[in-house]
Amino acid sequence: MSRLAVAFLVTALVLGTVPASATDDVGEAARAGQWQLAALQLPEAWRSSRGEGVIVAVLDTGVNGRHPDLEGAVIQGPDLTGTAKGLWGRHGTAMASLIAGRGHGDEHKGGVIGVAPAAKVLSIRVTLENGDPLREQQRAGGRDALAKGIRYAVDHGAGVISMSLGGGSGAWEGSPAEEEAIQYAIARGAVLVASSGNDGGTANRKNFPAAYPGVMAVGAVDRELRVAAFSNRQDYLSVVAPGTEIVTADARDSYVVSDGTSSAAAMVAGVAALIKSAYPGMSPYHVRTAIELGTRRQPADGHSPAYGHGVADALLALREAARLDPPGAGLARPGPYFGDGPPPASRGPVVAGIVMLAAAMSARVLVRHRKRRRL
């Protein structure tokens, strides 16, 4: 199919005039528009892993599991927004398709295919669509939706948690409930991924949940692997991934094309699922390390606020995971809370206790202590 034909069909999809199941050409156009497949080296990566056995929780606006490209891929979780009405599922369906879309048609050659097409998606509704007039009402009444969603995801088997959203529970400062939920998730082996934000060209605000230590913050690049103007630039940025002209499934059983760090984060969550499938016992720290080491266009000094550690690459990340797979690498495994940001204030007493214990031991004083249970 010519580039002009693809452009014409994609335009029709954006306008919502053609459903996913209408013609084979629509499915072909959707697949042809997925430039990230080559950019992430996914065909090569799928020889090692396709995400089998991994559940990726999509904390978003809900997922349409009846979309032709998501049939059999979605586990419906709870709606934690406290607002049953309103717009439903457009953004969440788009993100789910980028993670675990299976395509459709003859040999699944049409439609959207995700980064980890054999993974399962656990849909947990924690926010409403942008532009939904009920969004402010949800913010006022459901401030702990994200924190509850993280805990629900972990308790129901999610190995990866994808959060293509910003502002946490409506506050740019984050919240203790969310921070504690993230610690809880990491301690139980879940990898958390979030979008860095889309106001990089203006306010460039610190964005939660991406800014929480232990969460992989993901920015966006274009087809030339250049950082998109809208992608937030922050010291805590982990990696960047494709985030412009991205074709995704839509809640109306059609497709849409959009830009944003949301798509980039969903793809990196898919890469994490590939690694978790190939190496089920790998810690969140090692999964993150593999993704960050397995990047292209790495900054000269190893990290930059624009690129993070570089452009994500599924094939290279899997190769790094093979090298890091414990215990062969001999890397020290950190505690359940890790990241580029400062540790939470609550760790102060723990550090002080360690110093006192060391002093007591040097004075040959025997001290009995209990093991502390961490969340």
Ordered structural domains, the chain, with CATH = 34-344 (3.40.50.200)
Most confident of 20-29, 267-276, 328-337: 267-276
Q: Is a pLDDT exceeding 90 seen at residue 279?
A: yes
What is the predicted pLDDT for the residue at 309? 98
Q: What percent of the chain has pLDDT over 90?
A: 65
Q: Which residue, among 300, 360, 251, has the nearest Cα to 16 in the 3D structure?
A: 251
Output the CA–CA distances (angstroms, integers) from residue 177 to 77, 87, 121, 155, 232, in the order listed: 20, 26, 24, 16, 24
What is the predicted pLDDT for the residue at 365? 29
Record the tokens describing residue 306, joined without a space: 């624009």
Distance CA 42, CA 120 (A): 18
Q: Are strands 110-113 and 102-104 parallel, antiparallel or unpaired?
A: antiparallel
- If phi > 0 it is left, if psi is from -120 to 50 it is alpha, else beta; for residue 2 that is beta
Is 101 in contact with 69 (CB distance < 8 Å)?
yes
What is the predicted pLDDT for the residue at 251? 84
Q: Given pLDDT bands bounded at 50, 70 and 90, which one contains residue 327?
A: low
91 is known as an active-site residue: yes
pLDDT digits (tens, 9 = 90+) for 146-155: 999 999 999 9
Of 79-93, 219-233, 252-266, 319-333, give the lowest mean pLDDT range: 319-333
| Catalytic one of 49, 60, 195, 309 | 60
Q: Given pLDDT bands bounded at 50, 70 and 90, which one contains residue 28?
A: confident
Distance CA 287, CA 335 (A): 14
Whose tokens are 């992430």? That residue is: 40
Q: How many other C-beta atoms can be found within 10 angstroms of the C-beta atom of residue 106?
A: 9
pTM value is 0.83
79 is known as an active-site residue: no
Q: Which residues pair with 57 in a beta bridge?
A: 122, 161
What interhelical angle do 284-293 and 261-278 show, nearest 10? 120
Is 350 in contact with 375 (CB distance < 8 Å)?
no
pLDDT digits (tens, 9 = 90+) for 166-205: 755 445 678 999 999 999 999 999 999 999 999 999 999 9
| Catalytic one of 97, 164, 195, 262 | 262
362 is known as an active-site residue: no
Is 10 in contact with 33 (CB distance < 8 Å)?
yes
| Catalytic one of 67, 91, 286, 303 | 91
Most confident of 254-258, 286-290, 345-349: 286-290
Average pLDDT over residues 248-255: 88
pLDDT digits (tens, 9 = 90+) for 103-148: 998 888 889 999 999 999 999 999 988 766 666 665 544 568 999 9
Residues in Cβ contact with 351 at an 8 Å cutoff, skipping those fewer than 6 apart: none
